[in-house]
A and B are shown apart, each in its own frame.
Chain A
Amino acid sequence: MRKWVCFSCFFVYDESLGLPAHGIPPGTRFENLPDDWVCPDCGSPKAYFELQPE
């Protein structure tokens, strides 16, 4: 499981946790998020996320 960082606001999407409050179950891989999914913090699109280095 990986973590992805929004480089607009630095929100971290943790695949292992998902975002249950937003209907995204734990274990959801970033690439499986809908194409129109946006950062829950700032609203930036998926293109504004980068894989967080280990």
Chain B
Amino acid sequence: MTDDFDFYSEEFQNNPGDTFERMIEHCPFHHSERWGWYSVFRHADVQSIVNANETYSAKWGPGPAYSPPEAEILLVSADPPEHTRQKRAVARAFNLKSMLDMEPGLRKYVNVLLDQAQARGRCDLIADIGIPVPLWVICRFLGLDYAEHGARFREWVEILAGNVFAQNKPEVAEQAAAAGAEMAAFFTPLVRSKMAAIAAGNDPGSDILSELAKVDIDGWRLSEQNLLSFANFLVIAGSGTTTNTIGNFFRLMLDFPDQYAVLRQQPELIGNAVEEVLRYDAPVHGLFRTNNMPVHLGEMDVPADSKICLMWGAANRDPTVFDHPQTFDITRDPEQLKQIMSFGGGIHRCMGAPLARLEVRVVAEEFVKRFPDFRELGTRVPYPFATLNGLDHLTVTW
């Protein structure tokens, strides 16, 4: 296939939807000579790959770089049967109930942020709402004080999330290594204290790391490295993606004021609107699998151990699944919206999806109640890293 798609180009990064539409129609499988990896755009093809775990492995990591396989990297780089065992264990503590239990506290916190914004008369919806909300939730899961740790966590997220699609830039890799070491130095004593408490027959607490450390499945327990990996992943994967989805929600409401008018009149559509935001602008364009054996993608022969990017954002724009996929419509058929791939699919479907949805929904519900009209101030600043799709600043008033 012709190399007419460059993931890192401004054209794609600034307007992925148009590129996805073109690639779905004209070039559903693509090989980039420049970057060396393959991309898959159509919904059915993405879906079939996420369900073919024997052919397509996660062991080389979710980004374009080949991360050395390490059995103890939790979930994201694991294949069955290890992945199955890990996910069963994690779900004992990090599950729907534990996520939905966050709602009352989260709603209060969102209103504190909106009180502050209202008092100022203006608000950067990313810095003042989108960034603190998921990090506050993560701190709450970890039993940590957001005021003390939030800023440091955000620095790590910026560096380590940015590194996922970092084009092998050595300076970014060095920063990422340093941030990774800082995170390990922060979380290792915490994890060890939980494990030591259990070993001594004491209750380590009720935070998520304690609950995970307690999980015992027929004598098998998550290792120290597993728990560290979970903590890292919770902070890195659980915040930037949600920050950008919150930002995308507001950006789309500003770009399509008729849709915000519908939402004001029918706030019961907020849940559906969140799904449509996720469909129209997936916070992560795509993530990778690596084929264990030679495969064919369309007419291309793909050698074993190739990096293949599954374009979640493109699958969400596939006209064989979604009517008028280029139209942003918060009244879209909920049955269609069940097909969105913004959280991936198959065994690696994002476990935190219900939590992300909850956070965006609560922010939207409280904002719509308090700010029936809002308008943009100044210039939007795009998110600086190719990993995520969204904005870095979006300042508004009302």
Contacts and interface: CB of A to CB of B under 8 A. Distances in A.
B139 to A, nearest CB: 23
Interface in A1-39: 5, 7-10, 38
Contacts of A42: 345-347, 349
B347 A10 contact: no
Contact of A8 (B47, B81, B87, B338): B87
Given A42-B345, A43-B51, A44-B347, A10 B95 contact: yes
Nearest to B96: A10
B50 A48 contact: no
A13 to B, nearest CB: 14
Given A38-B51, A43-B47, A10 B354 contact: yes
Nearest to B344: A42
A44 B391 CA distance: 33
Contacts of B338: 41
B178 interface: no
Interface in B328-380: 338, 345-349, 351, 353-354
B51 A7 contact: no
Task: State the main secondary structure of chain A at its contact with B.
Answer: loop
A8 B338 CA distance: 16
A43 B88 contact: no
Contact of A43 (B50, B81, B90, B91): B50
A44 B338 CA distance: 15
A42 B348 CA distance: 9
A42 B88 CA distance: 15
A43 B96 contact: no
A48 B88 CA distance: 7
A48 B345 contact: no
A36 to B, nearest CB: 10
B96 to A, nearest CB: 4
Nearest to A44: B347
A7 B87 contact: yes
Contacts of A43: 47, 50-51, 345-347, 349
Contact of B353 (A9, A47, A50): A9
A50 B293 CA distance: 31
Given A43-B50, A50-B88, A8 B80 contact: no
B84 interface: yes
A47 B88 CA distance: 10
Nearest to A21: B335
Contacts of B90: 7
Contacts of B351: 8-9
Contacts of B50: 43
A48 B347 contact: yes
Contacts of A10: 91, 95-96, 354
Interface string A43-54: 111011010000
Nearest to B335: A21
B270 to A, nearest CB: 21
Interface string B64-107: 00000000000000001100100110110001100000000000
B349 A9 contact: yes
Given A7-B95, A43-B346, 19 more contacts: A5-B91, A7-B91, A8-B348, A8-B349, A8-B351, A10-B91, A10-B96, A42-B345, A42-B349, A43-B47, A43-B50, A43-B51, A43-B347, A43-B349, A45-B347, A47-B81, A48-B84, A48-B347, A50-B88
The 3 closest A-B pairs by CB, nearest first: A7-B91, A42-B349, A10-B96
6 contacts: A10-B95, A43-B51, A44-B349, A47-B84, A48-B84, A48-B88
